[in-house]
């Protein structure tokens, strides 16, 4: 009798960056503007072929500043738009990213993290852009940031990023890291009829009645498309409900508060985590990206040795999912935060913790991944 398993006709061997590109296509992305940079270049390479096949447009821009500006323009013209970069390019995008936040322009930015600062370690993994993703552009602003830890998640979370972007009229950042972006795994991608695709809400009134930044019960105004006759003023200045700059206090504060409210009132939808054995755990690992994979293996090894260890995997990093963390902290569980930086998410864990329970860290900044063995060793220190 043969021991060979039946081959799944839908299975593919895919790279993380390739899956990200396919996720963008599945979500309806039809415009990509970007500039090559390690370790994100494969996303642009893949989309340079795939987007024209679905009647979309690919442009290699002169730099990342222009790339961000181009996708803002593409989105205002009615096309789902994306760019992809790594740390140095992400730094260049920050001013235009803030413009997209204030003008409420949906778009997706993929940042494949590498070692830094500056040119840093171009071919090595890191998780040093977590705080930059939240606070990189100046001023108070909300932002949605997701993190993938598998090749399949590179696909599904790219779709999710577009859906959030369109639903809440906001830029969404997807953080990958060099390990996840370049690894290859066997994946079975969902069929088109299995994928939820959300499109922006369009005005239900004629152009002459349209208020582009009107408050709504959902907090997100419908978005008119310039090519469909809805011409309106778009600016990086704080503006009134018609889009024109304002210095009126009774318009400034309500507008800025609405930007936050459209995110904060939908935390249940936006904040995504995965829990593994957290109910009976004495130590809970909080991890994201490629380190979540090592953390999961360390948890399995620890449990096989009789250690009560759980894992809280962060899929949404910002807005920080404190409501998922607080019950674990109140239960007195020790929190272990391994990450490939000097301690960025661990600062948030400590902020939420307020000294209630122990928070221990495991940080690595030498351009190598944190292994399950290293996490397990840290767990055993707490015995």
Residue 236 belongs to some domain of the structure: yes
| Better pLDDT: 5 or 169 | 169
Q: What is the pLDDT, as a whole number, of residue 10? A: 81
Residue 2 belongs to some domain of the structure: no
Together in a domain, 150 and 287: no
Instruction: Compute the average pLDDT of residues 326-352.
Output: 96
pLDDT above 70 covers what percent of the chain? Answer: 98
Instruction: Compute the average pLDDT of residues 278-284.
Output: 97
Together in a domain, 284 and 246: no
Q: pLDDT at residue 4 above 50?
A: no
**Long-range contacts at 8-13 (CB < 8 A, ≥ 24 apart):** 8/188, 10/188, 10/189, 11/186, 11/187, 11/188, 12/186, 12/187, 12/188, 12/189, 13/184, 13/185, 13/186, 13/187
Instruction: Compute the average pLDDT of residues 62-70.
Output: 98
Together in a domain, 288 and 367: yes
Q: What is the pLDDT, as a whole number, of residue 105? A: 98
Q: How far is CA 355 from CA 30, 60, 219, 308, in A?
A: 48, 49, 35, 22
Together in a domain, 241 and 303: no
End position of a domain, from candidates 228, 244, 268: 268
Instruction: Compute the average pLDDT of residues 304-317.
Output: 98
Instruction: Compute the average pLDDT of residues 109-116.
Output: 97
For 256-268, write each residue's pLDDT tens digit. 999 999 999 999 9
Overall number of domains in the chain = 3
Q: What is the pLDDT, as a whole number, of residue 2? A: 43
Residue 74 sits in a domain whose CATH number is: 3.40.50.970
Together in a domain, 82 and 183: yes
Together in a domain, 225 and 186: no
Q: pLDDT at residue 73 above 60?
A: yes
Rounded mean pLDDT of the chain? 96
Residues contacting residue 67 through CB under 8 Å, at least 6 positions apart: 33, 34, 35, 61, 83, 85, 89, 93
Together in a domain, 246 and 373: no
pLDDT band (50, 70, 90) for residue 5:
low
pLDDT above 90 covers what percent of the chain? Answer: 95
**Under a CB-based contact definition with an 8 Å cutoff, are residues 187 and 14 in contact?**
yes
Q: What is the pLDDT, as a whole number, of residue 3? A: 46
Instruction: Compute the average pLDDT of residues 48-63.
Output: 98
Q: What is the pLDDT, as a whole number, of residue 194? A: 95
Instruction: Compute the average pLDDT of residues 167-181.
Output: 98
Domain that holds residue 359: 274-381
Instruction: Compute the average pLDDT of residues 212-233.
Output: 93
Residue 86 belongs to some domain of the structure: yes
Together in a domain, 36 and 172: yes
Together in a domain, 319 and 223: no
Together in a domain, 46 and 162: yes
Give the Cα separation of 254 and 270 in Å (integer).
22
Q: What is the pLDDT, as a whole number, of residue 152? A: 98
| Better pLDDT: 268 or 8 | 268
Q: pLDDT at residue 92 above 80?
A: yes
Q: What is the pLDDT, as a whole number, of residue 383? A: 67
Residue 338 sits in a domain whose CATH number is: 3.40.50.920
The DSSP code sequence of 55-87 is: T-EEEE-SSHHHHHHHHHHHHHTT--EEEEE-H
pLDDT band (50, 70, 90) for residue 382:
confident
Instruction: Compute the average pLDDT of residues 151-163.
Output: 98
Q: What is the pLDDT, as a whole number, of residue 118? A: 95
For 12-47, write each residue's pLDDT tens digit. 999 999 999 999 999 999 999 999 999 999 999 999
Residue 5 belongs to some domain of the structure: no
Residue 3 belongs to some domain of the structure: no
Together in a domain, 211 and 181: no
Q: What is the pLDDT, as a whole number, of residue 7? A: 67
Residue 1 belongs to some domain of the structure: no
Together in a domain, 336 and 258: no
């Amino acid at each position: 009798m043969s021991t060979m398993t039946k081959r799944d006709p839908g299975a593919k061997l895919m790279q993380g960056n390739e899956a990200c590109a396919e996720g963008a296509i599945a979500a309806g992305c039809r415009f990509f503007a970007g500039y090559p940079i390690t370790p994100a270049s494969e996303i642009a390479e893949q989309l340079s072929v795939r987007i024209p096949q679905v009647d979309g447009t690919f442009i290699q821009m002169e730099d990342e500043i222009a790339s961000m500006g181009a996708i803002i323009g593409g989105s205002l013209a009615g096309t789902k738009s994306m760019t992809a970069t790594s740390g140095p390019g992400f730094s260049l995008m920050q001013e235009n990213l803030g413009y997209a936040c204030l003008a409420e322009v949906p778009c997706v930015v993929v940042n494949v993290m590498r070692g830094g600062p500056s040119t840093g370690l171009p071919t090595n993994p890191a998780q040093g852009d977590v705080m930059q993703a939240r606070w990189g552009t100046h001023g108070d602003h909300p932002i949605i940031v997701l993190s993938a830890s598998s090749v399949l998640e590179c696909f599904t979370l790219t779709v999710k990023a577009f859906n959030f972007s369109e639903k809440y009229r906001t830029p969404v950042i997807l953080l990958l890291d060099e390990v996840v972006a370049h690894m290859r795994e066997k994946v079975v991608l969902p069929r088109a009829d299995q994928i939820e695709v959300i499109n922006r809400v369009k005005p239900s009134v004629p152009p002459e009645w349209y208020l582009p930044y009107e408050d709504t019960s959902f907090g997100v105004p419908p978005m008119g498309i310039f090519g469909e006759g809805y011409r309106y003023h778009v600016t990086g200045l704080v503006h009134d409900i018609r889009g024109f700059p304002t210095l009126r206090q009774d318009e400034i504060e309500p507008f800025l508060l609405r930007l936050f409210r459209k995110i904060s009132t939908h935390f249940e939808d936006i904040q995504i985590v995965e829990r593994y054995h957290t109910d009976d755990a004495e130590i809970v690992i909080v991890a994201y990206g490629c380190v979540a994979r090592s953390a999961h293996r360390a948890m399995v090894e620890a449990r096989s040795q009789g250690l009560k260890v759980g894992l809280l995997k962060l899929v949404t990093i910002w807005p920080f999912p404190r409501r998922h963390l607080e019950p674990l902290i109140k239960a007195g569980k020790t929190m272990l935060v391994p990450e490939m930086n000097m301690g960025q998410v661990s600062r948030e864990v400590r902020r939420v913790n307020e000294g209630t329970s122990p928070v221990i860290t495991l940080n690595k900044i030498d351009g190598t991944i944190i292994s399950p063995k290293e996490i397990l060793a840290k767990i055993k220190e707490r015995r």
